[in-house]
């Protein structure tokens, strides 16, 4: 693991009375932090486990997209959470959304850089992607678990970016301390998750930070199916609300492109 991210320090900062985090580990490299925690979840691992790495060789995004960043240029952070059985499955859509809020808050706290959100799972700096989020449900003998993965571009240089529309904290002018970034994001995630568990309505908070809201967007539903309209907000379950041909529609999934 990057020497700037000390496992003992990170554990002492995150695992404390009242925190949702129960176990924190760091590894120098792994195939996928999400896959590692998914395996642990199937084996009955408790809620609150965290895994952090600064290199993963088979990182995955939505729609089975795969990428690999050079070691030491990004943070892979995954968290295992087990919402209580009485939380309706429909509300789980909020998990990547509240994680986006946490990543934006953590980046701001650790670096001073402002980040915005693109529904449902991207964190942007000046319109460029700095973090992708992948939330997965895993079922096992201990019940259902959510594995939430965050891939934060920390020190990628321009010639290392996976696509021209990406960026990194360093390219945004931040002085990056990976341990501080990871800790700040996870602290914020614990707070947002606790609010969500407590039944807080996060719609206003999310809409205020989401750059998709108030814009014309294209929602790509499949390779051949998409709709265009104005995003007006999110509903109680975290679905994106889009005004399409005079009617409001709610989307639980889809790739969003900002058209203006």
pLDDT for 86-114, tens place per residue? 999 889 999 999 999 999 999 999 999 99
32-41, 67-76, 201-210, 251-260: which has the minimum mean pLDDT? 67-76
Same domain, 97 and 179: yes
**pLDDT value of residue 56:** 82
43-68 in b/e burial notation, b at 16+ Cβ within 10 A? eebebbbbbbbbbbeebbebeeeebe
Instruction: Assess if residue 180 is contained within a domain.
Output: yes
Q: Are 90 and 164 in contact (CB under 8 A)?
A: no
The closest of 101, 59, 95 to 76, measured between CA atoms, is: 59
The closest of 187, 168, 192 to 15, measured between CA atoms, is: 187
Same domain, 173 and 233: no
Instruction: Assess if residue 30 is contained within a domain.
Output: yes
Helix (H) or strand (E) holding 250: strand 247-251
Instruction: Assess if residue 174 is contained within a domain.
Output: yes
Query: How many domains are there within the chain?
Result: 2
Instruction: Assess if residue 138 is contained within a domain.
Output: yes
CATH code, domain with 88: 3.30.930.10
Angle value at C-alpha 150, between 146 and 153, nearest 5 degrees:
175
Instruction: Assess if residue 105 is contained within a domain.
Output: yes
Same domain, 150 and 243: no
Angle between helix 94-111 and helix 178-197 axes, rounded to 10 deg = 140
Instruction: Assess if residue 1 is contained within a domain.
Output: no
134-159 pLDDT tens trace: 999 999 989 999 999 999 999 999 99
195-233 pLDDT tens trace: 999 999 999 999 999 999 999 999 999 989 999 999 999
> Which domain covers residue 244, as residue numbers?
213-258
Helix extents (H) in 85-135: 94-111
Same domain, 112 and 228: no
Same domain, 15 and 110: yes
CATH code, domain with 233: 2.30.30.100
Q: Are 241 and 228 in contact (CB under 8 A)?
A: no
Ordered DSSP codes for 59-92 = EE-GGG-EE-PPTTSEEEEEEEE---TTS-GGGG
Helix extents (H) in 210-243: none
**pLDDT value of residue 4:** 56
207-216 pLDDT tens trace: 999 999 999 9
pTM: 0.93
- Strands 49-53 vs 23-27: parallel, antiparallel or unpaired: parallel
Same domain, 202 and 222: no
Same domain, 230 and 127: no
Same domain, 124 and 227: no
Same domain, 146 and 53: yes
- Strands 216-220 vs 143-153: parallel, antiparallel or unpaired: unpaired
């Amino acid at each position: 693991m990057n020497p700037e991210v000390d496992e003992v320090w990170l554990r002492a900062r995150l695992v404390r009375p009242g925190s949702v985090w129960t176990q924190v580990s760091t590894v120098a490299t792994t195939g996928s932090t999400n896959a590692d925690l998914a395996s642990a979840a199937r084996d009955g691992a408790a809620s609150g486990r965290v895994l952090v790495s600064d290199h993963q060789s088979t990182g995955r995004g939505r729609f089975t997209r795969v990428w690999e960043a050079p070691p030491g240029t990004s943070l892979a952070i995954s968290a295992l959470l087990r919402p209580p059985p009485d939380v309706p499955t429909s509300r789980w859509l909020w998990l990547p959304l509240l994680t986006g809020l946490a990543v934006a808050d953590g980046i701001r706290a650790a670096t001073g850089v402002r980040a915005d959100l693109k529904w449902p799972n991207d964190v942007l700096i000046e319109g460029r992607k700095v973090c992708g989020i992948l939330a997965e449900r895993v079922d096992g003998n201990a019940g259902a678990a959510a594995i939430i993965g965050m891939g934060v571009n920390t020190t990628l240089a321009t010639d290392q970016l996976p696509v021209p529309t990406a960026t990194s904290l360093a390219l945004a002018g931040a002085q990056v301390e990976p341990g501080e970034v990871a800790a700040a994001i996870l602290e914020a995630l614990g707070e947002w998750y606790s609010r969500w568990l407590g039944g807080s309505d996060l719609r206003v908070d999310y809409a205020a930070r989401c750059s998709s809201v108030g814009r014309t967007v294209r929602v790509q539903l499949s390779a051949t199916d998409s709709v265009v309209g104005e995003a007006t907000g999110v509903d109680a379950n975290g679905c994106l609300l889009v005004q399409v041909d005079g009617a409001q529609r709610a989307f639980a999934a889809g790739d969003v492109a900002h058209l203006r």
